[in-house]
């Protein structure tokens, strides 16, 4: 496990739970708007944190925190992810996985072994427009497979999309919502211009509140719940 950082306390990363958040290094995508280039670009990686130090910290948080969120980067690229999560579960924490959906096999293994309690998967774009947002020429089949695995599981989940004016058309939202038809929860995230992986995107403007509301209404034609975050 290459872990680039830890947030020791968060009330916003796991719904209604107090959690620590662990950020893994490395990603399969290079989203223009990514706010964590230090977790994506190898040249910007910090020295990884010591795993035993992380478990020593988690031991002190038993009974004080409910959950551990594994985020990134893209956690499913980590070779020892399953063993790492098994150790976290032995400490009786709930586990949430944040993923871009690139690795359906790992997602399936984690769910079938009861190792995760909540999963949040990014939906980057309509399936045929993924390369435009992620900068990677990847078959959308893996994304579709991850969606199916998550939606047919019994664990809590959300799909979420960061919407950026220069990358998404207002009309895209309906296609994106259709690709997760009947999903329990879809979160639309407003793009906040700040540090971005592609510096040209640090100045991109977000959609207006009115546009976001319109997109939320369109998404609601296809999913059960949709919120703007
Ligand atoms: S925003 Fe894109 S590049 Fe950044 S961590 Fe997420 S999937 Fe990777």
pLDDT reported for residue 166: 85
The first and second tokens of residue 183, run together, are: 């999903």
Residue 57, ligand 1, Cβ within 6 A: no
pLDDT reported for residue 97: 98
pLDDT reported for residue 203: 81
Residue 77, ligand 1, Cβ within 6 A: no
Domain boundaries, the chain: 3-166
pTM given for the model: 0.96
Report helix angle 104-112 to 141-151, nearest 10: 20
User: Mean pLDDT across the stretch 171-194?
Assistant: 95
Is the pLDDT assigned to residue 3 strictly greater than 80?
yes
pLDDT reported for residue 19: 98
User: Mean pLDDT across the stretch 175-188?
Assistant: 98
Residue 133, ligand 1, Cβ within 6 A: no
pLDDT reported for residue 193: 81
CA dist., res. 210 & res. 208, Å (int):
5
Helix (H, G, I), strand (E, B) or coil at 140: coil
Q: How confident is the model at residue 195 (pLDDT cuts 50, 70, 90)?
A: confident
CA dist., res. 181 & res. 172, Å (int):
14
User: Mean pLDDT across the stretch 205-229?
Assistant: 95
pLDDT reported for residue 194: 83
Residue 4, ligand 1, Cβ within 6 A: no
Strand partners, 69: 21, 96
Q: In what order do the strands lie in the sheet with 118-122?
A: 3-10, 19-24, 67-71, 94-99, 118-122, 156-163, 186-190, 226-228
- Which CATH code, of 3.40.50.2000, 3.40.50.1860, 3.20.20.70, 3.30.70.2190, is assigned to 3-166? 3.20.20.70
CA of 142 to the centre of ligand 1 (A): 16
CA dist., res. 34 & res. 24, Å (int):
14
Pocket test for ligand 1, best of 24, 38, 99, 100 (most atoms within 8 A of CB): 100
Residue 34, ligand 1, Cβ within 6 A: yes
> What are the helix and strand counts (H, E) for the chain?
7, 8
Check: CB of residue 213 under 8 Å from CB of residue 228: yes
What is the average pLDDT score of the chain? 96
Residues of the chain with pLDDT > 90: what percent?
91
Q: Whose CA is nearest to atom 2 of ligand 1?
A: 31
Neighbour-count burial for 119-147, b at 16+ CB within 10 Å, e otherwise: bbbbbbbbbebbeebbeeeeebebbebbb
Is the pLDDT assigned to residue 192 strictly greater than 90?
no
Is the pLDDT assigned to residue 121 strictly greater than 90?
yes
User: Mean pLDDT across the stretch 91-104?
Assistant: 98
Q: How confident is the model at residue 205 (pLDDT cuts 50, 70, 90)?
A: confident
pLDDT reported for residue 73: 95
Q: 171 vs 25, which has greater pLDDT?
A: 25
User: Mean pLDDT across the stretch 57-67?
Assistant: 98
E runs forming strands in the chain: 3-10, 19-24, 67-71, 94-99, 118-122, 156-163, 186-190, 226-228
């Amino acid at each position: 496990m290459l872990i680039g950082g830890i947030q020791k306390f968060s009330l916003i990363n796991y719904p209604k739970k107090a959690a620590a958040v662990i950020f893994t290094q490395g990603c399969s995508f290079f989203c223009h708007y990514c706010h964590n280039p230090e977790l994506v670009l190898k040249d910007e990686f910090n020295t990884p944190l010591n795993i035993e130090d992380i478990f020593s910290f988690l031991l002190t948080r038993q009974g004080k925190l409910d959950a551990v969120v594994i985020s990134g980067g893209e956690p499913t690229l980590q070779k020892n992810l399953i063993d790492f999560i098994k150790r976290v579960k032995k400490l009786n924490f709930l586990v949430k996985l944040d993923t871009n959906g690139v690795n359906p096999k790992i997602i399936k293994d984690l769910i079938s072994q009861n190792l995760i309690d909540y999963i949040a998967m990014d939906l980057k774009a309509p399936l045929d427009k993924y390369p435009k947002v992620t900068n990677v020429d990847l078959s959308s089949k893996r994304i579709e497979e991850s969606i199916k695995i998550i939606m047919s599981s019994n664990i809590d989940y959300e799909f979420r999309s960061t919407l950026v004016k220069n990358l998404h058309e207002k009309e895209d939202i309906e296609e994106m919502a259709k690709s997760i038809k009947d999903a329990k929860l879809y979160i639309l995230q407003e793009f906040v211009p700040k540090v971005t992986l592609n510096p040209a995107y640090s100045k991109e403007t977000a959609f207006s509140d009115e546009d976001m509301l319109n997109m939320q209404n369109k998404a609601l034609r296809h999913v059960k719940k949709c919120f703007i975050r």
